[in-house]
Amino acid sequence: MAGTILPFGPQHPVLPEPLHLNLQIEDEIVVSATPAFGYVHRGLEKLADIRDFRQMIQVVERVCGICSMIHALTYCQGLEELMGIEPTPRARFLRVIWSELHRLHSHLLWLGLFADAMGFESLFMQLWKVRERIMDINEATAGNRVILSVNVIGGVRRDLDSGQTAWILSELAEVEKGFSAMSRTILHDYTVQKRTRGKGALSRSQAMELGCVGPMLRASGVSQDMRLLGYAAYGELEFAPVVEQDGDCYARCRVRFAELGQSIGLIRQAIAKLPAGDTSVPVKGRPPAGEVVARAEQPRGECLYYIKANGGKFLDRLRIRTPTFANIPALTVMLPGIELADVPVVLLSIDPCISCTER
């Protein structure tokens, strides 16, 4: 066979995560890409055998740092459904607030890393500077910058008082100002367009067939968003999925950038409608025997939890399908035909989270 096989990752200067691809190259053009997994496998699903169903909340939070809160949320919602528990209205709205804060900081992180993959260092630093405010909100309201640990079965562990909500709103105004100031650069800059337009394009039908989720799918013109299921308090808030038609790296960038504004809007709505009351309901007993599938929209797309309980303290099986796992097959279609120098941009455009994928 002609050409050279180039191992791209798991250690590579451009990659924030240990993604491993074997690229078959001919004259600097990618001919085929084969993903390889297992580099950061930690066996977290198997821990369900020795950690009880409550302790597993802290375990699933560590599947991924960037969407830690939403992993715990999906898991708790699954168990709540199994146990027939209805979280309090206040808890549902607080869950939306923390989920959207997570989406905000994840998208800002991604935009920064994407700029970095293009070699646009100043944009990368500027976006991460804006992101710091959200990390501060996380720490002030939940106790930690990254692993919020706010979810429990039946609600949330922390509450927000009126002083905190007012402070969150004023900080969000600053965040909005910060990333809006970058909008011209991100959306109209010549360098950014040159590196992203027409790269790694995926048509609507390809995106559907390959099983893409989240911003990948929405950038290819499919209006799909798990938040439309109305879990937590999303059913009571107004929003419409951000959809773009082109399906290339630039469209993905536009989708994620527009979702920053959408998340801020959702937090404002949730704070305005935040009902009074308790933050959690007391939960007694163990989950009854049965199985349940829980889904939620993470910053990277749909996350799916399958939980099988046997009536005991330990779960029979926990299976986590993370969004990156669903988006990786698209790489095998997007990479062939592009130049090696564009591989980082296309790779980053799926927002890969490998510790999520390999769990």
- 136 binding other proteins? (CB under 8 A): yes
- 191 binding other proteins? (CB under 8 A): yes
Alpha-carbon distance of 350 to 329, in angstroms, equals 10
- 54 binding other proteins? (CB under 8 A): yes
- 144 binding other proteins? (CB under 8 A): yes
Alpha-carbon distance of 183 to 111, in angstroms, equals 11
- 159 binding other proteins? (CB under 8 A): no
- 55 binding other proteins? (CB under 8 A): yes
Instruction: Give residues 197-216 in contact with other proteins (rule: CB under 8 A).
Output: none
Residue (36 or 181) nearer to other proteins, CB: 181
Residue (23 or 118) nearer to other proteins, CB: 118
Contact range with other proteins by CB under 8 A, out of 48-56, 241-249, 272-280, 333-341:
48-56
According to CB under 8 A, which one of 40, 147, 169, 228 is a site residue for other proteins? Answer: 147
CB of 104 to other proteins, least distance (A): 18
List alpha helices for the chain, DSSP H.
Answer: 55-61, 68-83, 89-118, 121-142, 162-180, 183-188, 190-196, 204-209, 214-219, 249-273, 323-334, 343-349, 354-358
Contact (CB, 8 A) for 20 and 36 = yes
CB of 129 to other proteins, least distance (A): 5
Alpha-carbon distance of 290 to 359, in angstroms, equals 24
Q: Could you tell me the strand order of the sheet in which 4-8 lies?
A: 4-8, 20-26, 29-36
Residue (36 or 125) nearer to other proteins, CB: 125
Instruction: Give residues 81-120 in contact with other proteins (rule: CB under 8 A).
Output: 120
- 340 binding other proteins? (CB under 8 A): no
According to CB under 8 A, which one of 165, 185, 206, 224 is a site residue for other proteins? Answer: 185
Query: Number of residues in contact with other proteins, rule: CB under 8 A?
Result: 31
List alpha helices for 318-359, DSSP H.
Answer: 323-334, 343-349, 354-358
Alpha-carbon distance of 213 to 300, in angstroms, equals 8
Residue (43 or 84) nearer to other proteins, CB: 43
Name, in order, each residue with C-beta under 8 angstroms of 104's C-beta and a sequence gap of 6 or more: 134, 175, 260, 263, 264, 267
Residue (188 or 284) nearer to other proteins, CB: 188
314: tokens are: 């330990």
- 312 binding other proteins? (CB under 8 A): no
- 193 binding other proteins? (CB under 8 A): no
Alpha-carbon distance of 184 to 182, in angstroms, equals 6
Q: Is the peptide bond before 10 cis (omega within 30 degrees of 0)?
A: yes
- By CB under 8 A, name the binding residues for other proteins: 51, 54-59, 62, 120, 122-123, 125-126, 129, 136, 139-140, 143-144, 147, 149, 157-158, 181-182, 184-185, 188-191
